[in-house]
Chains A and B, each alone.
Chain A
Amino acid sequence: KAGVTQTPRYLIKTRGQQVTLSCSPISGHRSVSWYQQTPGQGLQFLFEYFSETQRNKGNFPGRFSGRQFSNSRSEMNVSTLELGDSALYLCASSWMTSRGSNEQFFGPGTRLTVL
């Protein structure tokens, strides 16, 4: 079974631009979560989608948004980029088990650099 895939793997943008990152979950997984990883703040939860609905959102400004499509693929968008948005953006997918699984499987991430 293929793992979580993320595109693109690397991205360079300038301040003020916007960016869209894409995530394809493991086949059969309906939940997709996004995380931001930086050396200073570590791994921080952005938001989670299940069946095209945002179920949970982390403490990030409104410039960060996302969506999920009917095939469970997800995109996240960052508008008006700031230097501090430079980070590794990770997507994780999950399935449901009888106990309501929390297990999440991460993709390789998209490395975003804002100049």
Chain B
Amino acid sequence: QQQVKQSPQSLIVQKGGISIINCAYENTAFDYFPWYQQFPGKGPALLIAIRPDVSEKKEGRFTISFNKSAKQFSLHIMDSQPGDSATYFCATSGAGSYQLTFGKGTKLSVIP
């Protein structure tokens, strides 16, 4: 049973454009929603995370939008740059839990 559905599987965006990646979850007990960025040959790096008591969180060019009623959250990358080309994973976990459930990943390519 896939508890976190991530889309799209791949995304091509022009430099300067907005990249949007979506995730949907099933378990209403989840209360922590991070996004990870992974470059080839590297481990995932925590990019930004949100808890369900807020609907949006922004850090630099990265924004998480959270819709608790729809059980969906998304990552927006503003002014996308070629250096943002990587695979992005959404994840979820329950209160105080260290068990992350990951989406399948989105491979982002930002073209000049």
In-complex Cβ contact of A100 among B44, B96, B100 (8 A): B96
For the residues of A in contact with B, the DSSP-based class is strand
Q: Which of A14-22, A61-69, A75-83, A106-114 contacts B (4 or more CB under 8 A)?
A: A106-114
Interface segment among B15-23, B56-64, B76-84, B101-109: the answer is B101-109
Count of B interface residues, CB-CB < 8 Å: 25
Q: Are B98 and A94 in contact (CB under 8 A)?
A: yes
Assembly CA distance A56 to B101 (angstroms)? 13
A-B CB proximity, top 3 nearest: A106-B43, A100-B96, A43-B102
Q: For chain A residues 71-115, which have a beta carbon within 8 Å of chain B?
A: 90, 92, 94, 99-100, 102-109
Output the residue of B44, B46, B49 with the most chain A CB within 10 A.
B44
* Distance of A35 Cα from B38 Cα, bound (Å): 14
User: Is B73 in the interface zone, CB < 8 Å from A?
Assistant: no
CB distance from B100 to the nearest CB of A (A): 6
* Residues in A44-75 with C-beta less than 8 Å from chain B: 44-45, 48, 50, 55-56, 58
8 other contacts beyond A42-B102, A100-B96, A106-B44, with CB at 8 A cut-off?
A: A33-B99, A48-B99, A90-B43, A100-B95, A106-B36, A106-B45, A106-B46, A109-B43
Instruction: Produce 1/0 per residue, A1-40, CB < 8 A to B.
Output: 0001000000000000000000000000001010100000
Q: CA separation between A96 and B28, bound complex, in Å?
A: 23
Interface residues of chain A, those whose CB is within 8 Å of chain B, are 4, 31, 33, 35, 42-45, 48, 50, 55-56, 58, 90, 92, 94, 99-100, 102-109
A-B residue pair count with CB separations less than 8 angstroms? 64
Q: Can you give 25 A-B contacts (C-beta < 8 A)?
A: A31-B98, A42-B104, A42-B105, A43-B89, A43-B91, A44-B102, A45-B101, A48-B99, A56-B98, A90-B44, A92-B98, A94-B98, A99-B51, A100-B95, A102-B32, A102-B93, A102-B96, A102-B98, A102-B100, A103-B34, A106-B36, A106-B44, A107-B43, A108-B42, A108-B43
